Amino acid sequence: MFQSVTFRSLEKRSAATRQLQQEVEDFALKQDNVRIQNKIYGFEKLALDESQPVYRRSGLYGLSAISVALLKTKNESFFEQIVQTVVIRLEDRDPKVQVAACEAIFNVIKNYREVVLKSKFFEKIFDTTISLIGSSFVEVREFAKKVDDKIKDTVFACLTMK
């Protein structure tokens, strides 16, 4: 499972991600926090692996999928733990890992919205995203702009509600 979310084929990767989400949703419905925590630990370990960028990307895809599954079941307990790891990887030295981290943080902001704005990581997320917009890698820059747009949507939606 840990390796399968990083398949080259988008189809296979999507299938593995869906399977992971389903498993985590089932754990969450059964309130099996230990199994959820174990899944998070597994992907966190991969995301924090310093030896192979492909492991870090795999970890980020997994954490992103878990965060979506947890929100579906209204379980926000592990939010900060997941975001903390993703934020670290936004500053990765490998541009492909940075792109994966952008994708993950995009999904987190899209799904958690105001929770992200109120979290202690928001300042860091905004600051790092802005820095990535100045990246010399086009793909990183484009993904960072998407994240910035999502932050904008969320901030202004929040201001409109006030």
Which positions lie near other proteins, rule CB under 8 A?
33-34, 36-37, 76-81, 114-115, 117-120, 122-123, 126-127, 130-131, 133-134, 141, 145, 148, 152, 155-156, 158-159, 162
- What does the DSSP 8-state code read for residue 9? S
Helices 33-47 and 79-90: crossing angle in degrees, nearest 10, is 10
The smaller minimum CB distance to other proteins, of residues 15 and 133, is found at 133
Which residue number, 22 or 76, has a Cβ lying nearer to other proteins? 76
In whole angstroms, the minimum distance from the beta carbon of 110 to other proteins comes to 17
d(CA 14, CA 20): 10
Q: How far is the CB of 159 from other proteins (least distance, A)?
A: 5
The Cα–Cα gap between 44 and 52 comes to: 14
CB of residue 52 to other proteins, shortest distance in Å: 26
What is the distance between the alpha carbons of residues 156 and 55, in angstroms, rounded to a whole number? 35
**Coil, strand or helix at 107:** helix
Which tokens hold the place of 19?
């399977």
Strand, coil or helix: what is 132?
Answer: helix
- Of 148, 126, 145, the C-alpha closest to 137 is 145
Task: Write down the least CB distance from residue 63 to other proteins, Å.
Answer: 16
CB nearer other proteins, residue 3 or residue 33? 33
Cβ-contact 130, 89 below 8 angstroms: no
For residue 30, the minimal CB distance to other proteins (Å) is 12
Which one, 16 or 109, has the nearer CB to other proteins?
109
